[in-house]
């Protein structure tokens, strides 16, 4: 049956395994040594940034015609997974580069793609994504940020919230209402905003529970004027492009969650084999063995679902909205459970910063929230089932 293409949902090629080996080595040698310090100081993981640029894993998804390496969706997930295994904050560098540029890949003109994708592919610029607002999180269509046509350009007014890597990125895909009286959901347009645009500023860094190495800030637009050639896709199609983007990038959040969970399982497994109580390693106690078995079983189920969703993303299959939501939802729930159990397995040691599992537990939580809460993912899945 394995030779029948009907059953080949995905297959890890030798190239995929080579990517995993290469990223794992970089993560171990160039990213992991700084992860605790990055978290402690809540600073951007510049060492990881530089290592990812040097190895072409900074924005691996960008097609070759725009200067990228053209990694498929599964290879991109493997990159994010392996980086997240040692540092979730650093894994947001390739993940958010995909999130920010995916609207361009899906809907932008060749001129816009040729202008903005090569600098990211080459590691000269980072790309962020501006969709959420203070009063428009899960309800994206209720956004208030406005873009008004003015001569041959546009003027943006409003704000965006919870923007990952804001202040670091040079470029931002920003969604704004262009027809306040238009039909809800069909009155939003996507634009590229540059960090240097007049009237564009940032709020203070959010003080977060986890992923402290990835700055999260608001975007503020005070009559921010941008040229007319910065529109992504057609006027009025922004929300459609934004939601199509999320179908693809939710899979990468699933990959991040898998990586965080794998890192926690690695630490917990090594610890219980070394820690001794009652004259023997605590790994010999059946109760702890059952915990490890459940952690590994759930993690592997999450990984397989993410990989299937990645294959569907690559092929653009019609059931991607269900699988993207399912992969993100299931993997993030697993990451939260596995990291919590890892803290439990380490006992008091798990609760202090001498070991990385407390950081991994804090980092895991956001995967259940961003790019659509897991409650929203369940709504997406249910709508697909009932359609």
Asked if 251 and 328 sit in the same domain, the reply is: yes
Asked if 267 and 351 sit in the same domain, the reply is: yes
Asked if 266 and 204 sit in the same domain, the reply is: no
Going by DSSP bridges, is the β-strand pair 127-130/171-177 parallel, antiparallel, or unpaired? Answer: parallel
Closest CA to 188 of 116, 131, 150, 229: 131
Asked if 223 and 256 sit in the same domain, the reply is: no
Q: Where are the beta strands (DSSP E) in 37-180?
A: 127-130, 146-150, 153-164, 171-177
Residues 154-196 have pLDDT tens digits of 999 999 999 999 999 999 999 999 999 999 989 999 999 999 9
Within 8 A by CB and 6+ apart from 128, the residues are 96, 99, 100, 163, 164, 165, 166, 168, 169, 171, 172, 173
Distance between CA atoms of 83 and 256, rounded to whole angstroms?
8
Expressed as residue numbers, the domain containing 263 is 240-386
Q: Are 338 and 261 in contact (CB under 8 A)?
A: yes
Asked if 215 and 255 sit in the same domain, the reply is: no
**Residue 85 is part of a domain; what is its CATH number?**
1.10.540.10
Collapse the DSSP code of 276 into the 3-class scheme (helix H, G, I; strand E, B; otherwise coil) and give the result.
strand
Closest CA to 158 of 140, 135, 176, 136: 176
Give the pLDDT confidence score for residue 9 in this predicted structure. 54
- What is the residue-wise DSSP string for 105-131? HHH--HHHHHHHHHHHHTTS--EEEE-
Q: Known catalytic residues? A: 371
Token pair listed for 209: 């529970």
**Residue 203 is part of a domain; what is its CATH number?**
2.40.110.10
Give the pLDDT confidence score for residue 3 in this predicted structure. 42
Give the pLDDT confidence score for residue 4 in this predicted structure. 45
Asked if 202 and 245 sit in the same domain, the reply is: no
Asked if 131 and 116 sit in the same domain, the reply is: no
278, burial (CB in 10 Å: exposed 0-12, middle 13-18, buried 19+): exposed
Asked if 272 and 204 sit in the same domain, the reply is: no
Asked if 113 and 133 sit in the same domain, the reply is: no
**Residue 360 is part of a domain; what is its CATH number?**
1.20.140.10
Asked if 64 and 153 sit in the same domain, the reply is: no
Within 8 A by CB and 6+ apart from 258, the residues are 81, 84, 299, 302, 303, 306, 331, 334, 335
Asked if 154 and 61 sit in the same domain, the reply is: no
Domain edge (last residue) among 190, 221, 236: 236
Domain edge (last residue) among 195, 218, 236: 236
Give the pLDDT confidence score for residue 141 in this predicted structure. 86
Distance between CA atoms of 164 and 162, rounded to whole angstroms?
6
Low-confidence ranges of the chain (pLDDT < 70): 1-10
How many folded domains does the chain comprise? 3
Domain edge (last residue) among 100, 121, 142: 121
Please provide the distance, in angstroms rounded to a whole number, between the alpha carbons at the two ends of the chain. Answer: 31
Asked if 91 and 142 sit in the same domain, the reply is: no
Residues 44-78 have pLDDT tens digits of 999 999 999 999 999 999 999 999 999 999 999 99
């Amino acid at each position: 049956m394995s030779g029948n293409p009907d059953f080949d949902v995905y297959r890890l090629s030798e190239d995929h395994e080579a990517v995993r080996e290469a990223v794992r080595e970089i993560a171990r040698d160039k990213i992991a040594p700084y992860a605790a310090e990055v978290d402690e100081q809540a600073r951007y993981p510049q060492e990881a940034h530089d290592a990812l640029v040097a190895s072409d894993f900074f924005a691996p998804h960008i097609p070759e015609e725009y200067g990228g390496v053209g990694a498929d969706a599964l290879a991109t997930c493997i990159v994010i997974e392996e980086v997240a295994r040692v540092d979730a904050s650093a894994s947001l560098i390739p993940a958010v580069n995909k999130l920010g540029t995916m609207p361009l890949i899906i809907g932008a003109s060749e001129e816009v793609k040729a202008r903005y994708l090569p600098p990211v592919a080459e590691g000269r610029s980072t790309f962020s994504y501006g969709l959420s607002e203070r009063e428009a999180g899960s309800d994206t269509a209720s956004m208030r940020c406005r873009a008004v046509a003015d001569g041959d350009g546009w003027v943006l007014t409003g704000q965006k919230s919870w923007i990952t890597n804001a202040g670091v990125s040079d470029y931002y895909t920003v969604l704004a209402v262009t027809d306040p009286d238009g039909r809800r959901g069909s009155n939003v347009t996507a634009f590229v905003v540059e960090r240097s645009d007049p009237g564009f500023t940032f709020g203070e860094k959010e003080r977060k529970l986890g992923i402290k190495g990835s700055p999260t800030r608001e975007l503020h637009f005070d009559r921010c004027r941008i040229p007319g050639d910065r529109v992504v896709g057609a006027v009025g199609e922004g929300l459609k492009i934004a939601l199509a983007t999320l179908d693809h990038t939710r899979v990468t959040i699933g990959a991040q969650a898998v990586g965080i969970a794998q890192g926690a399982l690695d630490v917990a497994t090594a610890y219980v084999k070394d820690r001794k109580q009652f004259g023997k390693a605590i790994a010999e106690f059946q109760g702890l063995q059952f915990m490890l078995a459940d952690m590994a079983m759930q993690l592997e189920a999450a990984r397989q679902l993410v990989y299937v969703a990645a294959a569907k993303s690559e092929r653009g299959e019609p059931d991607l909205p269900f699988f993207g939501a399912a992969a993100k939802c299931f993997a993030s729930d697993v990451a939260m459970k596995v990291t919590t159990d890892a803290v439990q397995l380490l006992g008091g040691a798990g609760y202090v910063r001498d070991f990385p599992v407390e950081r991994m537990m804090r980092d895991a939580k956001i995967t259940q929230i961003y790019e659509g809460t897991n409650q929203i993912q369940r709504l997406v899945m249910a709508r697909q089932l009932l359609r």
